[in-house]
Structure 1
Amino acid sequence: MVSKFYVFDDKLVVPGNDPRESWDLGNLYVKDRGKWRKRRTIPHGVHCFEMTAVDGTLIARIDTDHTSMLLMSGDWGKHWAPIVYDTLPERLFLLGGRAHGLNWDAGLCTFENGVFYAEQIVPRHNMLADEIRMYAYFGRLCRLDDPQVFRGCVVGPSSMGSSMNEAPYPLCIVPPGESRVAIVEAFKDETVLDVCVQGDALYVLCTRPKDGKYENSIYSTADVQSFKCEVAFTADTFARSFVRVDDVFYVGLGCERPDENGPQPSASTGDILQVVPVK
């Protein structure tokens, strides 16, 4: 299952798990110049949940059998080296040309000279003047799943207090200069699982169950007020993640992690779809 797609230096990078093979094995796929390359599990890694890249260096947050750690690679995943850190970030992101990390409890950290340094979180009113710190503060406050900065707003789906089978994940937004978090009402009846910012557009991936299947949709907006449906399709499972590359959407199909008494993954879980937007 692909938790998140990334585009680094025009390369599509996909860390993920294939539950049809084993939940204990992760992979790293790279699409470069039209060809896919598969890297087996990052050394000692069971899952690779977060990645970013800066100055040609891939940075990955992984889980092992015993702990979590950060690794970096200067050759697109062929070789990896450990990263020293003050606080292990749960989220990795790139803003202002620098790599940053976000820890739900300790706050913001910044990558410099191969090390992640923890930064002191300043009071709320000071954060609103700095989009990186605003990102960090509200990302922690709302437990935003992969928050993005779009037109000065912090926006992303929030998974606080809900699961896929219990209640929809809302799309949350913090407008510039605001100290409040708002829910985008356009998606109150759908589950928002991923967002993607490209150029002047924000793309939103939504899903909802219907008649034993899932209706999956991708919307675009230039102002987070009006939304246009770019793609809509039905599948036997929900769309978990996506990215837009060269006017084509790559969509990863996911599933809830099964338990011994629950339903097993559908046959299409882990598939990556290539979808052309509606003209």
Structure 2
Amino acid sequence: MLGVNLVIFKKMSLLLILSLFLSASMPETTVTANKDVTSKMEKLGNPFSKSAYARNVWDMQVFEGKIYLGHGNSSNDGPAPNAGPIPIYYYDPGKNKFVVQDVVTPTSSSSKKAKINKYVDEEQIDTFKILNGKLYIPGHDARGEGWQYGNYYKLDNNQWIKYRNIPKGVHVYDMAYYKGELFAAIGSDTAPDVLVSKDDGNTWTKLGSIDAFGPTRAYTLFEFKNKLYAVSAMLPDNNMWSTENKILCIRGCSGGGAEKAEGFQKTIYGNEMLPGITKKVTNIPPYMRMVRTTVFNDKLLYIAGEIYNDHQWKPQSLVVANDIDDARRVSFPNPNAMPMDILVRGKTIYVLTHIETSPGQYTNRVYKTSGSDLDSDANWTEVFNFKEDTFARSFEELNGDFYFGLGSDTDHVTDSTGMILKVKKSAYSS
């Protein structure tokens, strides 16, 4: 019996020595930090006075140390239809407060004083644009002054100047600056038009139209590979309509051997520009938009957004394109994550996403990648996540801190829509 116990003891000793040897020779197991920062999120406030849906934070833009906030609703349908006029809010991190800026409407008569309001004459502030170092607001849906002209607004010495001079621009969806010229993509009652100004926005002329199947609206302008493009609604791969779409190359393209003054129409296809989008669409036809277009590392990123509720959109996927007709769909570590916004900071790109985990419960996640990592889905990593009763529609970053604007869709509107949240760098990087 003693011999048997001795053998067992020797075997156990050998196993113990072997275990110690393996633990010493193998690398230490990496402990994954908890990326849930819900308890560390700061609620800065909900500054908007509109009803809940019109408090959607359609866009956030950092400019000169302030965070500008777009809101309102330009849809003719509910909830909160045609919610203008819209005050221009920004959040001042240094003073920890929300501020409303003046909007000045110049007069044509030198004997009359300029009109000063606390709002823009629009139903919605949909986007802010930094063009040639200046901050602009395209007039998303002009109100109260007829459809002969559309508006845009330009920040000058801490106040906004209103310009009402864009022909037929009842909807000015986007603006761009390219080699000394300003461009405007508009929605009119005739065609998706693109206008150009050669005198810093004082006068505008029509440059061309997009031969689009669908809404008579030019939604998006973007510069890519030294070319300026305009695009309207597009159709993805489907079994009912042609997936042939048109995109207007405004500057830098050649057509028939020579660049045309009005731009050059290029044929694109839904299965190339909107790859993998064959399901989850709710409208017929399933019109799509290129949203949040961002150039990074000589590639184009954009969100494929399905048009719904008139001017608004719902995300379907994030797309990365090597060229106009060479794009692929991005798959995040959680393949159900829906992209909402895109930010570039140096050599890193961040994407805001969300997942509805149960009715009225959302997990919002920020993913990042860098360098040439856009070629591989495996390089997208989670920065942090937080839970809310709705999704974050837009976000910004300033000095390492992230800011979020909560949004909602027409079928799920919560009182928290419009809440501005903040998470400090120390909360997610420790």
Alpha-carbon offset, residue 200 of structure 1 = 1.4
Structure 2 CA distance for aligned equivalents of residues 46 and 268 of structure 1: 27
Indicate conservation of the 8 Å contact 2:341/2:351, yes or no: yes
Question: In the alignment, which residue of structure 2 is the partner of 1:127?
Answer: none
Farther off after superposition, 68-77 or 90-99: 68-77
Structure 2 CA distance for aligned equivalents of residues 86 and 117 of structure 1: 9
Q: In the alignment, residue 380 of structure 2 is paired with which amino acid?
A: S
Which of 166, 179, 197 is the equivalent residue of 2:344? Answer: 197
Which of 393, 397, 409 is the equivalent residue of 1:240? Answer: 393
Structure 1 CA distance for aligned equivalents of residues 367 and 355 of structure 2: 14
Question: In the alignment, which residue of structure 2 is the partner of 1:226?
Answer: 380
Which of 175, 193, 210 is the equivalent residue of 1:69? Answer: 193
Q: In the alignment, residue 139 of structure 1 is paired with which amino acid?
A: M
Structure 2 CA distance for aligned equivalents of residues 157 and 193 of structure 1: 7
Count the aligned residue pairs: 253
Structure 2 CA distance for aligned equivalents of residues 231 and 8 of structure 1: 32
Indicate conservation of the 8 Å contact 1:231/1:278, yes or no: no
> Normalising by the residue count of structure 1, what TM-score does the alignment of the two structures yield?
0.62
Same amino acid, percent of matched pairs:
22
Alpha-carbon offset, residue 241 of structure 1 = 3.9
Counterpart secondary structure, 2:263? strand
The structure whose Rg is larger is: 2
Question: In the alignment, which residue of structure 1 is the partner of 2:220?
Answer: 91
Superposition pairs of residues 23-62 of structure 1, within 5 angstroms: 28-31=152-155, 35-37=158-160, 39=162, 43=166, 44-62=168-186
Question: In the alignment, which residue of structure 2 is the partner of 1:133?
Answer: none
Structure 1 CA distance for aligned equivalents of residues 320 and 191 of structure 2: 33
Question: In the alignment, which residue of structure 2 is the partner of 1:6?
Answer: 129
Alpha-carbon offset, residue 252 of structure 1 = 5.6
- CA distance 1:231–1:110, change in 2 (3 Å): farther
Alpha-carbon offset, residue 56 of structure 1 = 4.1
Q: In the alignment, residue 301 of structure 2 is paired with which amino acid?
A: V
Structure 2 CA distance for aligned equivalents of residues 215 and 16 of structure 1: 33
- CA distance 1:17–1:81, change in 2 (3 Å): closer
Residue 139, structure 1, aligned to residue 286, structure 2: no
Alpha-carbon offset, residue 29 of structure 1 = 4.6
Structure 2 CA distance for aligned equivalents of residues 15 and 87 of structure 1: 19
Indicate conservation of the 8 Å contact 2:193/2:210, yes or no: no
Counterpart secondary structure, 1:189? coil
Stretches of structure 1 lacking an aligned partner (at least 5 in a row): 125-135
Structure 1 CA distance for aligned equivalents of residues 393 and 297 of structure 2: 25
Question: In the alignment, which residue of structure 1 is the partner of 2:251?
Answer: 111
- CA distance 1:54–1:158, change in 2 (3 Å): same
Q: In the alignment, residue 204 of structure 2 is paired with which amino acid?
A: A
Indicate conservation of the 8 Å contact 1:138/1:154, yes or no: no
**Cα deviation 1:135-164 (Å, max 9, x = unaligned):** x9943656543443433444332236999x
Which of 164, 175, 181 is the equivalent residue of 2:328? Answer: 181
Which of 146, 156, 159 is the equivalent residue of 2:305? Answer: 159
Structure 2 CA distance for aligned equivalents of residues 207 and 16 of structure 1: 29
Alpha-carbon offset, residue 211 of structure 1 = 6.5
Alpha-carbon offset, residue 93 of structure 1 = 0.7
Which of 212, 230, 233 is the equivalent residue of 1:101? Answer: 230
Q: In the alignment, residue 393 of structure 2 is paired with which amino acid?
A: R
